[in-house]
Structure 1
Amino acid sequence: MQSSSTLFPVALLSAERRGDLSEDVYRIKAGNSPDVSVELAVTRLGLADQGGAQGMPVILLHGSFSNRRFWYSPKGIGLGAYLARAGFDVWIPEMRGHGLSPRNRQWQDNCVADYARDDLPVIGAFVREQCGQAPHWVGHSLGGTTLAAALGGGYLEPGLVASVALFGTQISRVYWPLKVPPVAWGARAVLKRFAQLSGPRFKRGPEDEPIGLALESLRWHGLFGRFGVKGNDWWAGLAEVDVPLLAVAGAGDFQDPVWACRKLYEQLGGTRKQFLRLGREEGFEAFGHVDMLVSKAAQAQVWPLVEGWLRDPSAVVQGAEVVVQVPATQT
């Protein structure tokens, strides 16, 4: 599945066969960011014996303190591998400084605004160029937040988005102490002393996160904070977004609770959307923040739903099945 690009410099880092899957790793150097040292690694998964033709493209965005292995383990297990075996053309980017993506010179200042404005449009354009069609996007946690920012900010043009699935993604959880200016100022002063937050040290995941993300979050949750940047209100912009949407929340997710995920879902415009709660009342395990996508229960209960919805975003996802709505025959 090797390829090149006419859009910007792209290097093929490796092209390997991993059991029944092919794994090509590209490094994109678009030069569109204020920090021109930014390079992004994107892994492409497909069936090894399928040849050049691939199925529908799907881009999987990992969350904080994570990398491509959230979607695709070294043993070939994960939603990414599952979708590739189901015939999808799977693309897994790694954010700046994560996994195979090197740290840029100003890595400590990286934030969602950079990812949404500069990186996701480049990734989407590259995938569309290679596949000849708009990709579907699946984001988990911070990956979903970044995707929401790119949509609300108008950074992702409609031709780059076939559909969007958000897992454990919310903006609205309130941290009341941060509404008190002296507390917020103190927190900011402390955070600015560091360059990063350590995932391994705090047992949050295998990767570190730049302190810029934490400082950006302080701005969002401050007294007059909002989801956006100066001159661009991402939250307001979400109301103008009209794409097929699946928003999924875990009943046991205390980091990004159901009510907050639903509020983001309700803010997004359009009618081609649906919300799914993963709880016992709906016929699922009471999934938490990570195991909604990475667990044996998710493999049996959630992955088939994702596959079915990607094949037909107009399908109704409920319980443990996808119901395709067939219009009544006209007589």
Structure 2
Amino acid sequence: MQSSSQLFPVALISAERRGDLSEDVYLIKANNSLDFTTELAVTRLGLADRAGPPGAAVVLVHGSFSNRRFWYSPKGQGLGPWLARAGFDVWIAEMRGHGLSPRNQGYASNRLDDYARYDLPAIGAFVAEMNGHPAYWVGHSMGGTTLAMALGLGTLAGARGVAVFGSQVSRRYAGLRLPPLNWALRRVLKGFGRVSGARFKRGPEDEPAGIAIELLRWQSLLGRPGAWWAGLAQSQAPVLVAAGSADEQDPAWACRALFEQLGGEHKQFIELGRAQGLAQDFGHVDMLHGPQAQAEVWPLLERWLRQPEAPLLREAPAAPGAPISG
């Protein structure tokens, strides 16, 4: 089968029309990491009857226990189709073993570091090859954290901009700082090899044990996110960090800590809530899902994608006593 890329083997595994949308699914085998069985699915969405060159490329990166359906429902709804109908060239990435991406041989040992160091650069290179220009990136929750890691590692070179929603690494859980408990949990996870999203009612996908162990190491008594955190200060790409005022999982103060760590002239932090003139205080999921997100948050993101240097909302003051450093 002829590759769809001149960079590395890429197979077009599906090409369909979904109502007014075209849906092309590619499987990338970049062979750039230590696990050569890794294959990554990316779905390209566009208007089926659109003529002329593609619009600006936007790559959407899902969070934990999730897949492309976070952005794109089977009925053609969601942020992905909405951006495609607004004229963007939309690409939806699925991480190793999620959705249409098969599980690689070393699935249980997968880490966010692998995603940031190997997988996102391969996806970015393919999207730029197909579109003709580097992409904007949008990530939710752990997807946004992975994008931040890539920024800190310098593996998103050339990105036109990065937007992260509900993403942070600064919140600490006191119990997980206790060495015996932290060590015991890591040992148990290593034995299971995965964390079931369905069993724990977190989402439709499993997560490899390697990622959970990686996050536990960050939570340990002397744990830190890693060298990528310091590297964020050197990042120059335009960045939008968005937090939900009612997000209890990844609170606004912790998302702001990520924002404060970023370098670059064109960065902005927005808190999605009533204090900023929105109709509600948004939570972790509804900041990007549902009719209110479509009415208020999606247009904000579209404005940022078209003018990443223009301010979106007035910032809410930091909560008194809220930690800022990571």
TM range, normalised to the smaller chain?
over 0.9
1:208 aligns with 2:206: yes
Asked if residue 193 in structure 1 is aligned to residue 191 in structure 2, the reply is yes
Aligned to 1:329: none
Give the aligned residue type for 2:285. V
Q: Is it true that 1:318 corresponds to 2:316 in the alignment?
A: no
Q: Tell me the alpha carbon deviations over residues 18-72 of structure 1, each in whole angstroms, 9 at most, x when there is no partner.
A: 1111000000011111110000000000010013521000000000000001001
- Asked if 1:291 is matched to 2:286, the reply is yes
Q: Name the amino acid aligned to 1:246.
A: L
SS of 1:92's partner is: strand
Give the whole-Å Cα distance in 2 for the aligned partners of 1:68 and 1:52.
26
Gaps of 5+ in 1: 320-331
Alignment correspondent of 2:317: none
3-state DSSP class of the match of 1:317?
coil
Task: Please give the alpha-carbon distance, in whole angstroms, between the structure 2 residues aligned to 1:102 and 1:119.
Answer: 14
Aligned to 2:238: 244
Equivalent position amino acid for 1:314 in 2? E
Q: Where do 1:97-136 residues align within 5 Å? A: 97-136=97-136
Q: How far apart, CA to CA, are the structure 2 residues paired with 1:204 and 1:241? A: 32
CA distance in 2, matches of 1:104, 1:248: 32
Distance in 2 between residues matched to 1:111 and 1:51, nearest whole Å: 40
Correspondence for 2:51: 51
Does 2:296 correspond to 1:301? yes
Which residue is 1:176 aligned to? 174
Q: Distance in 2 between matches of 1:312 and 1:142?
A: 25
Matches within 5 A, 1:12-51: 12-51=12-51
**Cα shift at 1:180:** 2.1
> In 1, Cα distance between the equivalents of 2:70 and 2:176?
31
SS in 2 for 1:205: coil
CA drift of 1:314 comes to 1.3
C-alpha separation in 1, matches of 2:228 and 2:113: 10
Matched residue type, 2:307:
D
Name the structure 1 match of 2:318: none
Counterpart of 1:272 in structure 2 is 266
In 2, Cα distance between equivalents of 1:286 and 1:24: 36
Secondary structure at 1:83 match in 2: helix
Alignment correspondent of 2:255: 261
Q: Partner of 1:69 in structure 2?
A: 69
1:221 Cα offset (Å) = 1.3
| Segment of structure 1 superposing worse, 182-191 or 70-79 | 182-191
Name 2:163's counterpart in structure 1.
165
Q: Deviations over 1:244-276 (max 9, x none)?
A: 111100011000000000000010001201111
Tell me the distance in 2 between the aligned counterparts of 1:155 and 1:307: 24
Which SS does the other structure have where 2:115 is aligned? helix
Is 1:234 matched with 2:228? yes
TM-score normalised to structure 1 length = 0.92
Q: Which amino acid aligns with 2:190?
A: K
Q: Which runs of 4+ in 1 moved over 4 A?
A: none
- What is the rounded CA distance, in whole Å, between the counterparts of 1:227 and 1:40 in structure 2? 25
Residue 222 of structure 1, aligned match among 201, 220, 223: 220
State the one-letter code of the partner of 1:174: R
CA distance in 1, matches of 2:105, 2:112: 17
Give ranges in structure 2 of 5+ residues lacking alignment.
Answer: 315-326
Q: Distance in 2 between matches of 1:152 and 1:227?
A: 11
* Percent of aligned pairs sharing the same letter: 66
**How many angstroms does 1:190 deviate by?**
2.0
Q: CA RMSD in A?
A: 1.3
How far apart, CA to CA, are the structure 1 residues paired with 2:308 and 2:213? 36
